[in-house]
Amino acid sequence: MTKLHTLMIAGCMLAFSPLALAETVNLTNSADGANRDAGITAVKKKLQDACTDHKGSPDSASFEVVFEKTSDNPNVPKPYHVDGKMKCELPG
């Protein structure tokens, strides 16, 4: 019976090993836009691209705006600044 239990535990460990090797990281970035929506879209695209460049899968539902500010200078072409973060699942 001991060998059976040992084999069962070893089998379970092998089955779950790819899940254990995966890593979730938080990516942060910033972007500018002509308005709030353009800034958010730009920073979300940057975060998704960064995640896929590292062969990860982005979690779009985890996207969060961390900071946003509008420039007081009317001559700035993209006056809206947005900082955001998003989770990214990286392979082990």
- pTM for the full model? 0.75
Amino acid occupying residue 13 = M
pLDDT tens string 15-72: 555 555 678 899 999 999 999 999 999 999 999 999 999 999 999 999 999 999 999 9
Q: Which fold has domain 22-90?
A: Dodecin subunit-like (3.30.1660)
Determine the longest span between alpha carbons in the chain, in angstroms: 78
> Which whole number is the average pLDDT over 70-82?
92
Query: What's the distance, CA 77 to chain centroid?
Result: 28
